[in-house]
Structure 1
Amino acid sequence: MDPQVYTQHASAQSVDTNKVLRNTYLLLSMTLVFSALTAGASMAMNLSHSAALIMMLASLAIVWFVLPRVANSAMGLPVVFLFTGLLGASLGPMLNHYLALPNGSSIVMQALGGTAAIFLSLSAYVTTTKKDFSFMGGFLFAGLMVVIVGAIGAMIASWGFGVDVSAFSLAISAAVVLLMSGFILFDTSRIVNGGETNYIMATVGLYLTIYNLFTSLLHLIGAMDE
């Protein structure tokens, strides 16, 4: 290949990658703010846990069945905001629970601060070094499956047999924090290195990582503060 043509191709690819990264972070910021608003509304309305569960299931149905079909169309953005708005609203009962604790405000702020620190530091590392973390994909997927199976098993043991799984639940939350940290490296690396070219799908991936990271940290910090 002509060196000049190769240079032009590499430059164009770099511009495209930077555009995807910029659009992803912009949309991610907007969806996080929107989620905070819907979470606040949910808290003010004192949303029930059953309603929150329905919203969470609806948001998962959207991201699994609807979003992949509209991610490349004009409907992609409204669907993303619908998804993140529902998931944000589903946090209302959980946040009300922790804020009702004696040191509740501090617990929530520590979880928010920890989530921001982990996400920003890991994202900055990848965008600065441009290191490829695609090799982590298989390990992260396997770890996620183990965590999901463990969480389902804990729910069955707790609800069906009345077994105290609080210690196991904390272990799962700690595992989720580690997994989500890995996913931040993996997802950001895919954007930076051209593996993900759709900023809507990239935003959803990072949003879910931040959501799970926050809820897991909230669980861990809340347990340590009790």
Structure 2
Amino acid sequence: MSFLDRPLNRDAQTVAYSDSRNIAGHKVLRNTYMLLSMTLLFSAITAGLSIAYSLPSMGIIVTLVGYFGLLFLTTKLRNSAWGILSVFALTGFMGLTLGPIITRYLGMPGGSGIVMNAMGLTAVIFMGLSAYVLVSKRDFSFMGGFLAIGALVAFAAGLGAIFFEIPALSLAVSAAFVLLMSGMILFETSNIIHGGETNYIMATVSLYISIFNLFTSLLHLLGFADKE
């Protein structure tokens, strides 16, 4: 048996497996960031159109049905090219729902500053947290359960704040979402580079939702602070 025909020892196999996971993780990360940037741009365009044409709010029921319906569709199509179209449909729809929210804040005194500050803070938080994970290569998979439960509780509390019109609860929910979505950015980026998430479509959706919720939560907090 020649040297080339000998089986790899356990250490060599481990290194080879680790290298293949790193290569796959980098490919998923590259595709995710490319698709994420395009969907964010498309979402910004639909939000801009919504603002330009003064489209009214769709209401909580239509928003939730549209969001969960398109999210379900994207999940079902995640392994096909149709999944990419579904991602754009989801993010475009979310952009349309965002337009009336931004319009309301732009109508406030100093509203343009509030919107720009929220956008700037969202970008800084996302890039800072992503860079930290990419540089440190820390594994944040342990946060998954806590984030899932926290997001579920915060979502339920947010619905309660809307239906029962409790401003203090709504403010607390926004603060909680800033922390939870920051954690989600850490978790999902770590999940990608460590091979836990191998589908760039679903990775894009997760990061987009985190950025969307982070932005709207910061918008709410900054808008409240500006009124004080």
Q: Same fold (TM over 0.5)?
A: yes
Instruction: Please give the residue correspondences for 1:149-164 in structure 2 after superposition, counting only pairs within 5 Å.
Output: 149-158=156-165
Note the C-alpha offset of 1:52: 8.2
Paired residue type of 1:9: Y
Matched residue type, 1:100: G
**Residue 132 of structure 1 aligns with which residue?**
139
Residue in 2 that maps onto 1:196: 197
Q: What is aligned with 1:162? A: none
Moved more, 149-158 or 32-41: 149-158
Structure whose alpha-carbon radius of gyration is higher: 2
Match of 2:18 among 10, 14, 20: 10
Taking the aligned partners of 1:192 and 1:206, their CA distance within structure 2 comes to 14
Alignment length, in residue pairs? 219
Q: Which residue of 1 aligns with 2:100?
A: 93
**AA partner of residue 152 (structure 1):** L
Percent identity, aligned pairs only, is: 51
1:203 Cα offset (Å): 0.2
Which 10-residue stretch deviates more, 51-60 or 198-207? Answer: 51-60
**Unpaired segments ≥5 residues, structure 2:** 1-7
> Does the 8 A contact of 1:35 with 1:85 survive in 2?
yes
Q: CA deviation at 1:157?
A: 1.8
Q: How far apart are 1:56 and its partner, in Å?
A: 5.3
Q: Which residue of 2 aligns with 1:144?
A: 151
CA shift, 1:121, in A, is 0.4
Q: Distance in 2 between matches of 1:112 and 1:28?
A: 16
Structure 2 distance, partners of 1:55, 1:86, is 9
Distance 1:55 1:167, change over 3 A: closer
What is the Cα-based RMSD across aligned positions, in Å?
1.5
Q: Are 1:122 and 2:129 matched, yes or no?
A: yes
* C-alpha contact 2:21 2:194 (8 A) present in aligned 1: no
Gaps of 5+ in 1: 159-164
Q: By how many angstroms is 1:194 displaced? A: 0.4
Residue 77 of structure 1 corresponds to: 84
2:3 match: none
C-alpha distance in 2, partners of 1:175/1:51? 23
- Deviation string for 1:97-125 (max 9, x for gaps)? 11111201100000001101111100100
TM-score, normalising length from structure 2? 0.91
- Which residue does 1:222 correspond to in 2? 223
Please list, as runs of the form range in 1=range in 2, the aligned pairs for 1:15-26 lying within 5 A after superposition.
15-26=23-34
| CA displacement at 1:54 relative to structure 2 | 2.8
Pick from 41, 49, 62: which aligns with 1:41? 49
Q: Indicate conservation of the 8 Å contact 1:173/1:220, yes or no.
A: yes
Distance 2:177 2:60 in 1: 21
1:32 corresponding residue in structure 2: 40
Tell me, yes or no, if the aligned pair for 1:17 and 1:192 is still in contact at 8 Å.
yes
Contact 2:126–2:182 (CA<8 Å) still a contact in 1? Answer: yes
Secondary structure (helix, strand or coil) at the match of 2:58 reads: helix
* C-alpha contact (below 8 Å) 2:44/2:95 kept by paired residues: yes
Structure-1 residue corresponding to 2:114:
107
Q: Is the 8 A contact 1:71 1:200 kept in 2?
A: yes
* Distance change >3 Å, CA 84–CA 217, structure 1 → 2: same
- Residue pairs, 1:48-67, within 5 angstroms: 48-50=56-58, 54-55=62-63, 57-63=65-71, 65-67=72-74
Aligned position for 2:185: 184
- Report deviation, 1:51: 6.4
CA distance in 1, matches of 2:211, 2:190: 16
- Kindly indicate whether the alpha-carbon contact (under 8 Å) linking 2:162 and 2:170 is maintained by their aligned counterparts in 1: no
Instruction: State how far apart, in whole Å, the 2-side matches of 1:66 and 1:29 are.
Output: 21
The verdict on how the C-alpha distance between 1:56 and 1:156 changes in structure 2, with shifts beyond 3 A counting, is: closer
| Offset at residue 53 of structure 1 (A) | 6.0
Q: Distance in 2 between matches of 1:215 and 1:196?
A: 26
Q: Which amino acid aligns with 2:150?
A: G
